Every structure is written in structure tokens, then in C-alpha cells.
Amino acid sequence: MFGKIIGIDNNLVLVEMNHSNQYKDIMNRHVYLIDDRTVVGEISDIKNNVAYIMLLGEMINQKFVFGVIKKPSFQSKVSFVSDKDVEKIIGVTDYHEETDLYIGTSPIYENIPIGFHINDFFNSHFAIFGSTGAGKSCGVARIIQNLFSKKVQIPYRASLFIFDAYGEYHSAFHDLYKTVPEIAFKAYTTDIHSQDELIKIPLWLLGVDDIALLLGAEKHSQLVMIEKALKLVTVFAREEQMVLKIKNDIIARAILDILSSGGTSAQIRDQIFSVLSHYNTKELNLETPVFQPGYTRPLKQCLNIDASGKIREMELIVDFMEKFLTEDYELTLPDGSFLYTLKDLQDAFDFALISEGIFSSEKIYDEANILKVRLHALVASDDRFYFDYPEYIDRTSYIKKLLTASNGRKAQIINFDINYIDDRLAKNITKIYSKLLFDFSKNMNQRASMPFHIILEEAHRYVQNDNDKFLLGYNIFERITKEGRKYGVLLGLISQRPSELSETSLSQCSNFLIFKMLHPADVDYIKQMVPNVTQEVMKQLRILQPGTCIAFGSAFHVPVLVKMDMPSPEPSSSNCNISALWFVHKDKS
């Protein structure tokens, strides 16, 4: 007997301990409370020889069932759970290589391995949190290394897409093939000077929403401009004769709008000069000859203002512009069936802006000019290389290429090193890829037949409560967390600042591994957002050792402490060795 029950308070049972306990350290050990049923509890605190036991569940037919319907009676016998039985509560019973995975051991019970059923963990979204240096990256590496190091069964058809914020995971997974030749690791980088394969996204696979994110659009009116540009690019990138015809039509309509705007003669002349200086074709420009009976003169001379302050040739200019109008074309959004470049998009965007009347409204001009400047900056910067795909490829073939290693075999781990770009572009690239994978999975004939796991390191940089929902009507990460399970698209969120994550995304996670956390805002946020997390679990977060985490969720019977072994090889996540870098022998200084 462990002791005598002296009180029951909600989910806590108070037991006055006797002095014949066989364990010196009994904190966090599990006990049975037996009368007509066998209730399981965990010792969460000890004060004045009284143990506070948190009720967890019941043993029914030799199996642990989480949750307690009926409290134990005061006559219940209290005894420690044996090491043999404790595995039924915190471990994996009846372990099978193809269905189960060990991730570490219990620091409370010696030699008790901790793990989960693979389906229970990987068929749901999961989150791994912890302060800097707590062991998050090593924990992720250890789990994945264990997953791909099985003796007989290997997850050959797995597809893990890791967005690696600091380039840490390359060292942990690059040589997996040496121990498991059937497994392949594929690495992409954002370092344009590296010999590794550069991230390159086919621009024609992006839609209005993707371009809006890329250009940092903030208003719905800007979406209209982007949509018009994408419609124009369907022609501008393909049919040269039709391009000229449509450009002339757009320029002519813009000038006709200016002529009918009611502005002063000087304003009309200046605006037309501005349009034709920036947007012109070989057939329609300031030097285009305008024919009249008896003589010919360039278009710019027709804009002269006479002594009375009027443009005398206004009617002539209107008649001349109307000759360029055409109605025999219909614009549609690109369907991903043809190649176009950033230069094509830039050209289309410029003409889309004048077709939307940027010269007739200061507000439209300001909103359009922001997008124009950002697109021009993208075209002129090194960031353009990430969208400079060398040849046409459709979406299915592109995703297949992502999943194919250099040796032609299936790649199971695809690592995107996004360390060399700024946070804004990194956020957009993760969103673009996530949407690409989600849309691909959503359109598959056999739903969820090819699961994709998207693992985001430093997820708080990307999965945020941002403007997407207002602008687009959705946030891709929130959509994936709400809808992705049925299509086999799962998110893994790794973060040191969970309080900065999207509340919706976090609330949809089913499993959590939480390493040491110190920031009060993050601890409180986890307590508020994560279902079924107890006060006792939260108390332990501040005192966990590096490499030790609390695991809980649908894959675990109860919240459980897990001590993880260091991965081998380790990710490149170690701290800077200041003393080694600072100090040299006096003779060498």
C-alpha cells in the first residue's frame, strides 16, 4: 500500500503516504487506485507527507483508457504501477515496426521506451515548441532519423517537405542513404552562389493569389490589377501580332479616357504625353504620323495648344485613336499550359495598369504604383532567379521532379534551405509551395493517396495572423490545417514563439512536443490554445532539461516526459563557441 486517501478535490486525490514506499523518487510516477475499478493517476506534487495524485484514466480489460468517469472511493487501495504495466500507459504496447515509432525513453522509468502509433501522430498536424537551445531541431532530426532507420520496413513512399530557416537539417539527413540505400534526400537552396540546386518556381503555375502575396498586395482593388495583368500575359507571352493589337487597343482607350476626362487642355496634353512616353508601340507613339488631306504630321504636334488655350485637333485625335480599338479578343487567366517570364509579366502589368485608368485617378495610381515598383524591383534583383525556370513544365511534372532525387529514385526528404532570403520572400515561398502541394492533392483522383508533410522550421515567421484572410478570403496554412487531413496534406509547426503563430492553425494541431519554454507569453498562449493541457504540464515546461520534452495529444495516452537521444549526425544548430573564438595563446596574438 502506498498510503491512505484523505481527500478528493475535483481531479486530484490526496493520499497520506506511509513510510514503506519502495521508490526513493516518486514524483511523476503512476499509481493505481483500486476498488470496483482500477483508476490510474500520476503523482504531481508532495506536501507535508501528502501526495497529490492527478487522475488520468482507467485500466479496462488490461488496456489504459484516458479519462475518468467515476472518482475512486476513499476505500480504494493505492499502489504503484509496476514497470511492466506502466508501458501500457506511457509507452507503445505490442510494438510493430511498420506501424509504430520510438522517439526516446522515459526519464522517470528506466529503460521504458516512449513512442506512438505512426498513424496517430503523422495523420494529423503537429507542433514542436521550445526556447532557443532547448532541443527542438535535434528532436525533429531524431524523430525523422528513427523513422527512416527501421530494420525491415522503410517509409519509401513518404514525402517530407522541410522549410529550413537556417540551413540546419542538411547535415542531419544528407547521408541517410549510406545506412539506408533505398532512402534519398534532396536539397534545394536559396544561395545563388552555391553549387547545390537552386529553388526555382515556374511562374506560370502561380495564380492571382500567389502573385498578390509576392507583390505584397494589401487591397482588393489591387487584385483586379493583378488579374488583368495575368489575363494579358496569356497573350503577351505567346502571340506577337495579337500582342501589338491589344497594346494599341489599351493605349488608345487610355488616351480616349483622358480626352473625355474634362480636364484642362494642358492637363490632357501632359497626361497623353506621359502615357505615350511610358507605353507605346511601333504603331502608336508620339512620332506616329497622323494623316490629313494635304499634309501629314506626328501625333505629338496634334496635341499643341492654340492661342485660345484649346487643343484644336481634339476631334482628329479621337478619330485617330478609335481606329486602334478592337473588340475581337477575349482575355482569360493563364491555366499553366504555357511558359512566361517575369519580364512578360512586367510588360503585361504595365499595360494592365493603364487599362485600369491609373492616369485618371490619383488613388488608383498610388495603389497601382506600389505593385509596379515591387514587380520592377523583383525583376531587377537577384530574387528573380527563384522564378526563372528554364523550360516549360506542368504542375504534375514539377511536383514529380521535386520528389525525384538526382539518382532517379524517389526522394523522401525534400529540404528547402531558405536561409539566404529575407523573411518576406521566405514567407511567400513557403506559402506558394504549400498552396501548390495542397491544390495538387485536392485535385487527385484518389484522395489522400500521396500524403505530403510540410514541416516549417521557425513557423512563427510564416504561419501568422496576417492580412491574407482579409485580402484573399483565406490563409493557406489555416486552410491546410482545417482541410488538409482529408487530402493527406499535413503541417508540422516548429517554433520558439508559439504566441506569434496563427491561432486557427495552432488550434488544429493534434499532437505536441514541447521542450523547455521560458517566455510567460508563450507558456500562457499554449495553455489557452492547446486543448486538454493541464496546469501540471505547464508547470514543468520551465524546468525541462535540453533534449527532454513533454509529449501529449492524440498519439499519446497521457502527457508524458520524453528524453530524446542526440541525433546522429546532428543538425547544424549548435551555439557559437565564444570562448574558442575569442581566446588565443599570448604567443599567437
pLDDT of residue 531 exceeding 60, the answer is no
pLDDT for residue 18: 82
User: How far is Cα 520 from Cα 525, in angstroms, rounded to an integer?
Assistant: 8
Pairing of strands 511-514, 126-129: parallel
Tell the residue number behind the cell numbers 492524440, with chain if given: 554
377-389 pLDDT, tens digit each: 999 999 999 999 9
> What is the DSSP code string of 258-327?
HHTS---HHHHHHHHHHHHHHS--SSSSTT-EEEETTEEEEGGGGG-B-TTSSBTTHHHHHHHHHTT---
* Number of CB atoms found within 10 A of residue 123's CB: 17
Task: Using the predicted structure, report yes or no on whether residue 439 has a pLDDT greater than 90.
Answer: yes
Mean pLDDT of 103-124: 93
Sorted by where each starts, the structural domains of the chain and their CATH numbers stand as 3-81 (2.40.30.20), 101-197+393-570 (3.40.50.300), 208-383 (no CATH)
| Res 242: pLDDT | 81
DSSP H or E segment with residue 489? strand 489-495
pLDDT in tens, 555-574: 999 889 999 999 999 998 77
Q: Would you call 362 exposed, middle or buried from its count of C-beta atoms within 10 A (0-12, 13-18, 19+)?
A: exposed
State the pLDDT at residue 45: 85
Q: What is the three-class DSSP state of 4? A: strand
Query: Are the C-beta atoms of 200 and 382 separated by less than 8 Å?
Result: no
User: Of residues 129 and 3, which shows the higher confidence score?
Assistant: 129
Q: Exposed (0-12), middle (13-18) or buried (19+): which is 488, by Cβ within 10 Å?
A: buried
CA gap 93, 101 in Å, rounded: 11
Tell the burial category of 166 from Cβ atoms under 10 Å away from its Cβ (0-12, 13-18, 19+): middle
Q: Which of 72-81, 230-239, 271-280 has the highest mean pLDDT?
A: 72-81
pLDDT tens digits, residue range 353-365? 888 777 667 778 7
The rounded mean pLDDT for the chain is 90
Q: What is the pLDDT of residue 262?
A: 83
Answer yes or no: is pLDDT of 129 > 90.
yes
pLDDT at 74: 93
Comparing 538 with 37, which gets the higher pLDDT? 37
300: amino acid identity, one letter: K
Is the pLDDT at 56 greater than 70? The verdict is: yes
DSSP per-residue string spanning 38-85: EEEEEEEEEETTEEEEEEEEEEETTEEEE--SSPPPTT-EEEEPPHHH
Give the three-state DSSP class for 427.
helix
Across residues 73-94, what is the average pLDDT? Answer: 90
**Which pLDDT score is estimated for 148?**
94
Q: What percent of the chain has pLDDT over 70?
A: 96
What value does the mean pLDDT take over residues 221-238?
88
- In this predicted structure, the answer to whether residue 532 has a pLDDT above a threshold of 60 is no
Tell me the C-alpha distance between 498 and 146, whole Å.
26
